[in-house]
Structures are given as structure tokens and as C-alpha cells.
Chains A and B, each alone.
Chain A
Amino acid sequence: EAQVTQNPRYLITVTGKKLTVTCSQNMNHEYMSWYRQDPGLGLRQIYYSMNVEVTDKGDVPEGYKVSRKEKRNFPLILESPSPNQTSLYFCASRGRFSAGNTGELFFGEGSRLTVL
């Protein structure tokens, strides 16, 4: 089954304790992205990756890091989490734009993070 898998789904942590949210896709997609969802703000892009070893900042990258060492994995790292990073996080992927692929995103189920 084609899917994007995120872990953990729920996490409560404390300020300053490093954490990683993993994301893996099994569709051989080139493009992967992280979003955070906050009430009234929709989805805001944190980082994205066009392919292995190619990453770039989205609209709200402060406080986050990513890496793309393998095509299927795109972990989100919070080196020193703060309460303003309490949010619902989504990983998404899609294939390269082509005649047969027009860019719809496939989303994971979300990771709800609370930073105390």
C-alpha cells in the first residue's frame, strides 16, 4: 500500500530536549516536505527536499533541521524544542512533475507534539 509513515504520532516533551520525528515513504517520490498545522493558520511549510541531499527552507524553518540521506526518509529534528513548537506536524511527498504526475501531495497521519 502506498503510504507516508510518521513516528511518533503523539509526543510530549520538555523544553530543550532534542527530538526527531521520522518520516518514510514507499512511493519512490523525489519530493518530500514538512508542514506544521496550527489553528487559523492552515499548513505552513517548514523544510522541503527535492531529492537526496537536496534540502531547502520553507516559510517557518527556525528551530528545525532536516536531512535527506536516503530517498525514502526525511526526518525532522528539533535540536532544542520550545513551547512555540507545540503543533501538529505533517510529512508529505509527491513525485516529480511530469505529464503523468501533476503534483498532488501524499500526507502522513500527523505527529502531535507538545513541548512543556
Chain B
Amino acid sequence: AQSVAQPEDQVNVAEGNPLTVKCTYSVSGNPYLFWYVQYPNRGLQFLLKYITGDNLVKGSYGFEAEFNKSQTSFHLKKPSALVSDSALYFCAAGVGGFKTIFGAGTRLFVKA
């Protein structure tokens, strides 16, 4: 079965430190990969995507993600975390032309 895994329920980081939110995928073919962020009482917002090309993709709010085909990973990163980055982050894979599979989500806490 195709799936997206986010191995950490929660990530804690101090403000100003780098952050990483992990994601691995198990899908057939070459998936489209996405990261979305969800703030309290809001819908999901698109952050960035990998389709093809450069393995390091840059997105909104200073976030970037690194695609690693051999490890089937697509980790989300930011060089310097902000308290305002605290939110729920979802990794997702687009497969089959119309279906999007989501991970369970990782809650990020950035402490001042």
C-alpha cells in the first residue's frame, strides 16, 4: 500500500536554531511531494513542492525541503526557527494523477 510516514509526532526546537521535520514516502512511480502547514483553527496551507529537478526546493516563510530518492525522504528544513513557525506540518505525496496521500502530521513547537 502506498503511504507517507512522518516518524515524529512532535518536534521541539529553540528559536533561532535550525529545524528539521522528517518525512518518508512509499509510493509507486515518481511522486509529486508536498509540505503543508496548519495553524490552529485554520485549513492547510501549501508550503512547497518537489516535482522534478533540483533536490533542494525552497518555499514560503524561509522553509526548504530536500528530496532524497535513494532514501525515499523529503525532509522539511529551516535554518533558523521562529516562534511563529509553531504549527502542525503535513507531508503529502501526489500519486496517480489525482490522489494525494497525507502523513499523520508533525507538531512543531518553537520555544522562545
Binding site for B on A (CB under 8 A): 4, 31, 33, 35, 40-45, 48, 50, 90, 92, 97, 102-110
Contact = CB atoms under 8 A, between A and B. Distances in A.
A74 B49 CA distance: 26
A42 B102 contact: yes
Contacts, number: 54
Interface in B4-45: 6, 9, 32, 34, 36, 41-45
B104 A41 contact: yes
Contacts of A42: 6, 90, 102-105
Interface of B: 6, 9, 32, 34, 36, 41-46, 49, 51, 90, 94, 97-100, 102-105
Contact of A109 (B34, B43, B46): B43
Given A4-B43, A90-B44, A45 B99 contact: yes
Given A40-B104, A97-B97, A103-B94, A108 B49 contact: no
A104 B34 contact: yes
B98 A50 contact: yes
A54 to B, nearest CB: 11
A62 B102 CA distance: 19
B90 A43 contact: yes
A44 B45 CA distance: 17
Contacts of A4: 43
A43 B42 contact: no
Nearest 9 pairs between A and B by C-beta?
A107-B43, A42-B104, A43-B102, A104-B46, A42-B102, A107-B44, A103-B94, A109-B43, A102-B51
